[in-house]
Amino acid sequence: RKEVEQDPGPFNVPEGATVAFNCTYSNSASQSFFWYRQDCRKEPKLLMSVYSSGNEDGRFTAQLNRASQYISLLIRDSKLSDSATYLCVVRRGNKLVFGAGTILRVKS
Amino acid sequence: DTAVSQTPKYLVTQMGNDKSIKCEQNLGHDTMYWYKQDSKKFLKIMFSYNNKELIINETVPNRFSPKSPDKAHLNLHINSLELGDSAVYFCASSQDYTEGETQYFGPGTRLLVL
């Protein structure tokens, strides 16, 4: 079993849709949590950190459930420019552990 | 202004060759990393240096040898290249390696071993 699991998708959604991704992690010692975004043939970039209390950044909302060991990302009012791979990332010790990513395609 | 830069961007080479990838960051960060992203898109940590000192050394063949001449540079030398080494190699840096520090990635080096 991989340490960070994500549905690879792709999620194909129309512009303006709301889409949610989930991610589960297996190591309860994981300390902090992030969503990164990776465009095709580009480097990963931090989208947002994820806190137990939940946090929002514009159209993006992230949630963490430590008891169930899952992390979610909600994107409201999807834009064409949101098309990318979304990587769920957990920190364990001084290492980041990446999921394989969920592909989102937003279509007009 | 490129924060984390890597050279070369593309590298096509024959099995058995030795090659190096260079990485530089101009962010003043103390910690640098090498990651490998394979064809299944998993991004895995290979090495990390903090202030030129090795702090992470994952289970990587010893054909891979990182070198950090100063804290702004972390190079990766690969000996006796194999087909399975084909991947995208990303360099990254962060202010330090404590919890919560954001890692900034370079554009990647696409290595193809023939």
Interface test with A, best of B10, B31, B41 (most A CBs within 10 A): B41
Minimum CA–CA partner of B5 in chain A: A43
Partner-chain residue, chosen from A41, A46, A95, that has the shortest CB–CB distance to B56: A95
The confidence score (pLDDT) of residue B52 equals 85
pLDDT tens per residue across span B4-31:
999 999 999 999 999 999 999 999 999 9
DSSP code per residue over B95-114: S-SSTTPPPEE---EEEEE-
Is A26's Cβ below 8 Å from some Cβ in B?
no
Cα radius of gyration (chain A):
13
The confidence score (pLDDT) of residue B14 equals 97
Widest pairwise Cα distance in chain B: 40
d(CA B91, CA B111): 13
pLDDT at B99 over 80: no
**Which positions in chain B touch A90 (Cβ < 8 Å)?**
none
Instruction: Name residue B111's beta-bridge partners.
Output: B11, B87
Low-confidence ranges of chain A (pLDDT < 50): none
**Which positions in chain B touch A101 (Cβ < 8 Å)?**
41
Nearest of B113, B31, B103 to residue B72 by alpha carbon: B31
**Which positions in chain B touch A31 (Cβ < 8 Å)?**
99
Q: Quick check: B56 and B64 in contact, CB under 8 A?
A: no
pLDDT at B100 over 70: no
